[in-house]
Chains A and B, each alone.
Chain A
């Protein structure tokens, strides 16, 4: 294995090292690449003509395009200045446990496939194969954001993962965050969220993203790169984490306040209860823990902050203490739910338009310059009027 070239990528601030190594050396270091790789989750892939041809080409010594790997930042042994790292230190980091693959997974899998075949059938040809050379690029010390950014922009024709998957990766650190009385769950864990404080991870991320974007459209925006750039504009990872916590803690406080003011309102305990009728949520938590509400809240606060009506979540927390129902809480909550049902029955895109409604609702509630400031009744009705005008 030898280093052929080193270039510095200024966009993601990482050293890119071009190595030349034998297939044998690559197979030794790549042994973990296909395992536990969150960035390249196993995909169904056909092994048809293309891969058969590739195997034949490999046997005959063809030169395949460089495979691109990365060493995660946490594996860099605290090396801060990757521009000036000595070659022997670089080579010492090229180890199975340090590497992830950015591009070339299918070629790698095909190579392993071929090796396994030759182990069984032709060891002489295997030895010959092992001596053929490969070019391998390695990025030194990439964080999660940079890894995703590079994978998306390499643009080799392979889309390694769907948008949903990419979002999960980007925000996976937040999944592990725990803070007072709030738990986040992945949908795959199949837990029906039960009480205030328990949220689906994806829904919270969507809401947080809407706060950053000031847009209720939600995380289905097609340019994931903009999501990455959003995170990068928050100057440090600590700041990201604190802001995220503030967002969800504030929201959780708001739900607790709604629940308290409505005396733990539950549709099933009302005289209007009809089991056969659809309702957006049976109680405060069910209603407001959905992604439409979380996103609407994020977008509303983002917009109010941008327009300098609010200064941040701290101010929102103070305002939450003052929100109130002017009329009977049950009547107003039923009204809000009926609006959501109307939207469901008539909207071209239900999720989007319910987000719009919630955005108007929260914006009305927390806009000190508006008529509905802190008044849940007025916010409920005026939000629907604004929604109707918009559509």
Chain B
């Protein structure tokens, strides 16, 4: 919750009371002996009567979202609406297209209150000054203007097995919603945003749920600015997945050996076929992440080839994504010290494409039998 600044201390906002006739909220601390409070205007039509405890709120950031980018959130696997996602600026304005939509207004009203009570917000409010939920003036805003609000209905989440919002971090990232308020993120160009009504979010493959690195990456590491470091941080996803492939393939072959479908000598030959890193990367794209959008792969291919050309690795340019991403990786590991300056820009662009590929791999990774 935002904090109230007292003489030598701070106390948390834990009480939010609606004054419906005046359309504002009075926020305060219920134990404050001086009964300090702040009044925050609510400009949208009020759609109340819903229990806040039935909803969950998460905040993210975006660098390029419009006030009108208000979407219903659908969970891809169950194909049902689970909530809404919208910029915080849509809660302090009636100018956008949803200002009369009662479904949005219900979530907006809930979100406004949950935001005022959010324990993650550590903004300090000084007594005697006036504040807005968000505004052009950072010092008087409880939240920055580029905050994105995600509100989910708990009842809807019951249909999802072991729902955990972090499982959707890569998907949210892909849609331009970031865990951290960073400036070095690629603007999501979405030509269809003015006509679409929803955002689909997909969780990562269940087999990856326990991989802490995924959460570390999308909460912090992916905002790394140095392109060399960033590539390696992203490449760790490839390393992680091909390690799983190794274990899985060994498991499959061991089972066949046990069932006498193959013999000891075949066992050794088969291992040799997939043990090398480049072979497992090939398996990753061909067998284990088959549903990746071709456009994303082609885009990354193009960027990789441009990069390899710029660093005079023309003989490594080809049409196989697994080969060329491996070639890029090798160049950076062994030869980064010789990289021409103009190639660094290409590496930055390559990383943006690589991010997208990583997201898709995480969502589509599936062990084969």
Interface secondary structure of B, over-half rule: loop
Query: Given A155-B128, A217-B136 in contact, is the A350-B22 Cβ separation under 8 Å?
Result: no
Give the residues in chain B near A221, CB-CB below 8 Å.
137
B68 touches A159 (CB 8 A): no
A44 touches B26 (CB 8 A): yes
A44 touches B18 (CB 8 A): yes
Residue B47 is within 8 A (CB to CB) of chain A in the complex: no
A344 touches B136 (CB 8 A): no
Give the residues in chain B near A95, CB-CB below 8 Å.
none
Interface secondary structure of A, over-half rule: loop
The interface on chain B, measured as residues whose beta carbon lies within 8 A of the other chain's beta carbons, has a size of 42
Taking a contact as CB atoms closer than 8 A, the residue among A106, A156, A224 that contacts B130 in the complex is A224
A354 touches B41 (CB 8 A): no
A163 touches B67 (CB 8 A): no
How far, in whole Å, are A295 and B306 apart by their CA atoms in the complex?
Answer: 50
The interface on chain A, measured as residues whose beta carbon lies within 8 A of the other chain's beta carbons, has a size of 36
Give the residues in chain A near B26, CB-CB below 8 Å.
43-45
Query: Given A43-B19, A44-B26, A222-B130 in contact, is the A345-B36 Cβ separation under 8 Å?
Result: no
Give the residues in chain B near A309, CB-CB below 8 Å.
none
Residue A313 is within 8 A (CB to CB) of chain B in the complex: no
Minimum CB–CB distance from A203 to chain B (whole Å) comes to 12
How far, in whole Å, are A345 and B38 apart by their CA atoms in the complex?
Answer: 33
How far, in whole Å, are A347 and B68 apart by their CA atoms in the complex?
Answer: 8
A350 touches B17 (CB 8 A): no
Most buried by A among B26, B67, B68, B139: B67
Taking a contact as CB atoms closer than 8 A, the residue among B35, B41, B146 that contacts A163 in the complex is B41
A354 touches B17 (CB 8 A): no
Give the residues in chain B near A124, CB-CB below 8 Å.
none
A48 touches B93 (CB 8 A): no
Query: Given A345-B194, A348-B66, A348-B89 in contact, is the A161-B39 Cβ separation under 8 Å?
Result: yes
Residue A162 is within 8 A (CB to CB) of chain B in the complex: yes
Query: Given A41-B22, A163-B130 in contact, is the A346-B66 Cβ separation under 8 Å?
Result: yes
26 A–B pairs (Cβ distance < 8 Å), ordered by A: A43-B19, A43-B22, A43-B26, A43-B39, A48-B30, A49-B31, A156-B128, A157-B34, A157-B128, A158-B35, A158-B37, A162-B22, A162-B41, A164-B41, A220-B135, A222-B130, A222-B132, A222-B137, A344-B96, A346-B66, A347-B68, A348-B145, A349-B145, A350-B66, A350-B93, A354-B95
Other A-B pairs beyond A158-B36, A222-B139, A351-B95, 20, CB < 8 Å: A43-B19, A45-B26, A46-B15, A106-B35, A157-B36, A159-B38, A165-B22, A220-B132, A222-B140, A344-B68, A344-B97, A347-B67, A347-B68, A348-B145, A348-B146, A350-B67, A350-B95, A351-B93, A352-B136, A354-B95
